[in-house]
Structure 1
Amino acid sequence: MTAGVGRARRRRRPTVGLFGQLGSGNVGNDASMRTVVDHLRSRHPTVDLRVMTTGNHEVADRYRVRASPLHVVDALPSRPHGAVGMLVRLWGKAADVVATVVWLVGLDVVIVPGMGVLEASVPMWAWQFPFALFTMCLAARLLGVQVALVGVGAQAVTQLPLRFLLVRSARTARYRSYRDELSRTAMHDMGVDTSSDPVFCDMVFALPVPVGVMPTPGCVGLGVMDYHGRNAATDRRRDAEIHASYLMMLSRFALRLIDSGRSLRLFVGDRVDVEVAEHLLHELRAARPGLADDRAVLVAADDFDALMTAMAQVEIVVATRYHNVVAALKVGKPTLSLGYAPKNAAMMESFGQGRFALALAGVDFEQLCDRFDELDADRSAAARAIEESSARYRTRAEEQLADLSRLLERRTGSSPRPGVPA
């Protein structure tokens, strides 16, 4: 870029794009976006914000920003099936490339906020979001737009097409930071030079926590997930069996809690999890017909604040989704993680709670019950350790946002608002 073009960029209003699976029902992804939007609007109020996302209508309504669909076919009133449907999907991929290029024109920086954009911990295909990310990163490089992968999660991937797209996307980005050391190591192991890439933490730790919320005695939070196994060929062939086994274990565990006199709050982290929670409620009420309504309740929080407030009202949390675990730790709750990916265990280890991180791929009902009873027996000690670590994580998240401000200042000349720390 010439010096003249650089000066022109600084004379006009800085324009920043946000890119990802945002506003589409995943509470964790949306919390990452909100963290960045809040930071930009408080520290860099002159920035013109644009978004390309799977949930463009919801994002546009919530944040009053210009939002474009990540996939052109999502704007169609209906999608045909069969051979015609395949042709429409192929056309849609080509149209997505054009739409992405058009969206990038005029942007200074594109931020991919948090999220596990460089991992494949759940079943996915290369031509889904990984292809969209690769397309955006490549087009941005050609147009001179800097891409910042901010506080993202990563995982070593063995499937060659998926690995190619994720690695190329990471290499093309001008800025990369990670939410844990596990992610940076994974990218290094896949051939990305991570020597200049900082590690902070999950950026949602910068969000405020609810205050003055008291737990209900005897109340347990159970975070559920529409879990069908890992992103591996062996799990894909057994996805129905894996899902049924997961539901059975949770149903038995929920019954055990109810029979011991506990009350239960079922949490979800994505819209697709609601059906799982409803299934568990049905199983509970079928097995215990006289169960009072308030003994088992579904809490379908649609944002991270509501999720944290609901978790603050229980004494102990057992959760599967990563950001359910994060929310529980943020509000200082003794937490047992049923992890579907190594990131759950990494988070729990960093809070000194590694013993209470169980891997779904190997856990059984007896082990779950034994570990829950152990955690429940000394909740106060666990809560103290978690609260101390949570304060440290908030500081690290704020340092990540300060680093983002420095990137924006270098690229656009947009200094943080005077008198407000970056």
Structure 2
Amino acid sequence: MTPVRVGVFGLLGSGNLGNDGSLEAVLGYLRADHPDAVVDALCGGPEVVTARYGIRATRLHWYRGEYRTASRAGAVAAKGLGKLVDVLRTGAWVRRHDVVIVPGMGVLEATLPLRPWGFPYSLFLLCATGRLFGTRVALVGVGAGAIEDRPTRALVRWSARLAAYRSYRDAQSRDAMRAMGVDTARDEVHPDLAFALPAPEATAPPGPPGPVCVGVMDFHGGNDDRARAEEIHRRYVDGTTRFVRALVEDGRPVRLLTGDACDATVVASILDAVDSPLVTAAETASLADLMAETAAAASVVATRYHNLVCALKAGTPTLALSYAAKSDALMARMGLAAYCHPAREVDADRLLEQFRELEKRSAELRRTLTERNAATARQLTEQFTTLTKTLFPATAGTHHHTSRKAP
């Protein structure tokens, strides 16, 4: 039999640990349940993906400056030409595959600044050429949200309609797609794919006065906040800095975490402002590294969605600096709905009150997270079983989902 040809697609290998963690979870599933599949990627950072995961990878865009602002006439022309060339490049890549998987990520949302002719256009090309050439495109465990910008909304809606399979990481994502005119009657909701990654053992005594992990983000608001992006950023950094300083004044060691390369500027700002040996910055290259950091902490306060996933998966009491409804939904799923604080309006005094309440309930919340993580593992087993039946019907009776180690 000819091996099944599987492609993975997205902004992978580009510095976002959450995106790469979703890829890692899908590769673990494929290697466990479909070991004969031939896998390659069309992605943002092909060199990183090949080096880290051992699969062939092709650059997502013909024009290398795709995500840089084009101000000169030559750059504008090159970017425009790239959009046309990418139609042919994407189609040629898609038709070589039987299945293409978009692993997790917020590919159907605009909770961060986003231009329609960036990734939404690329996703539309993928789904349209998949339908044209008969390649099954699966949006697996993705995030979605209501989108106000009309061109972006249209591209996202048509991408979802043209995909052969869709599942979401929370119910509100499915609701958002339904509200945008997509028939979601057969779409399923499962936990975020990163919950399929192995969790480390806790390495610190539970509860205070142990170290606190604070996950930060280069946060400027969402797609609809461009007019006040700098104000939002300043309030976020100032409020988070005040919170870290208060922890230090209590004698607590603080470990700063990131989830994307761009977050380093916020880390540097906090280190400079607080200027204490109790505050250090973690060097993390994967979600496994993030989980290890959070497993060693008494408590976690974090902004990025996958910082939260890692802390919750590690079973550490966690407070979310929430910048989107997806964070609130995740915290509710894991039994910590009361511990959300708005990232756009960080109030250091109120945040400290919530944090102290979180730590008072540390033992209880750790038990809650143990129970919720067990349920999440069962639900992800169902996700992968459904994926096999839908995308790999010829092997559905010969492979079964098993417990996997990270690739």
TM over 0.5: yes
Residues 260 and 398 of structure 1: is their aligned pair in 2 closer, same or farther, counting only changes over 3 Å?
same
Q: 1:297 to 1:215 in 2, by over 3 A?
A: farther
Q: Deviations over 1:170-194 (max 9, x none)?
A: 0000100111111111111111110
Pick from 29, 34, 45 the counterpart of residue 19 of structure 2.
Answer: 29
1:400 aligned partner: 383
Larger Rg: 1
Report what 1:385 is aligned to: 368
Q: Does structure 1 residue 297 correspond to structure 2 residue 280?
A: yes
Alignment of 1:323 with 2:315, yes or no, is no
2:154 & 2:65 partners in 1: Cα distance?
A: 29
Counterpart residue type for residue 333 of structure 1: T
Q: Hey, what does 1:103 align to over in structure 2?
A: 93
8 Å Cα contact 2:204-2:210 kept in structure 1: no
Q: Which one of the candidate residues 46, 49, 55 is aligned to 1:59?
A: 49
Which consecutive aligned stretches of 4+ in structure 1 deviate over 3 angstroms post-superposition?
78-81, 414-422
Find the partner of 1:48 among 21, 25, 38: 38
8 Å CA contact retained: 2:236, 2:344: no
CA–CA distance in structure 1, aligned partners of residues 324 and 260 of structure 2? 16
Q: Any idea what SS the aligned residue of 1:283 has?
A: helix
Letter in 2 for 1:374: E
Q: Please tell me whether residue 230 in structure 1 is matched to residue 225 in structure 2.
A: no
* Offset at residue 409 of structure 1 (A): 2.1
- Mapped partners of 1:106, 1:421: distance in 2: 28
1:151/1:178 contact within 8 Å kept: yes
Mapping for residues 19-418 of structure 1, pairs under 5 Å: 19-74=9-64, 81-211=71-201, 213-215=203-205, 217-232=209-224, 235-285=225-275, 291-292=276-277, 295-410=278-393, 413-415=394-396
Q: How far is 1:231 from its partner?
A: 1.1
| Change in CA separation of 1:275 and 1:361 when aligned onto 2, cut-off 3 Å | closer
Cα deviation, residue 315, structure 1? 0.3
Deviation sequence 1:128-160 (CA, Å, 0-9, x none): 100000011001101111110011111011111
CA contact 1:204–1:397 (8 Å) conserved in 2:
no
Q: Structure 1 379/153 Cα, relative in aligned 2: closer, same or farther at 3 Å?
A: same
- 1:421 deviates by 4.1
Q: Are the aligned partners of 2:384 and 2:401 in contact in 1 as well (CA < 8 Å)? A: no
215 and 56 in structure 1: CA distance in 2 versus 1, 3 angstrom threshold: farther
Count of matched residue positions in the alignment of Structure 1 and Structure 2: 400
Deviation at 1:79, TM superposition (A): 9.9
Moved more, 378-387 or 361-370: 361-370
User: TM (normalized to structure 1)?
Assistant: 0.91
Residue in 2 that maps onto 1:7: none
Deviation, 1:118, is 0.5
C-alpha separation between the residues in 1 aligned to 2:353 and 2:78? 52
Supply the RMSD in Å over aligned alpha carbons.
1.8
- How far residue 215 of structure 1 moved from its aligned partner, in angstroms, is 4.6
Partners of 2:236 and 2:346 within 8 A in 1: no
Distance 1:135 1:148 in 2: 14
The correspondence for 2:4, drawn from 11, 14, 20, is: 14
Partner deviation per Cα, 1:361-391 (whole Å, 9 max, x = no partner):
3442222122112112221112211221111
Instruction: Give the Cα–Cα distance (whole angstroms) in 1 for the partners of residues 238 and 99 of structure 2.
Output: 47
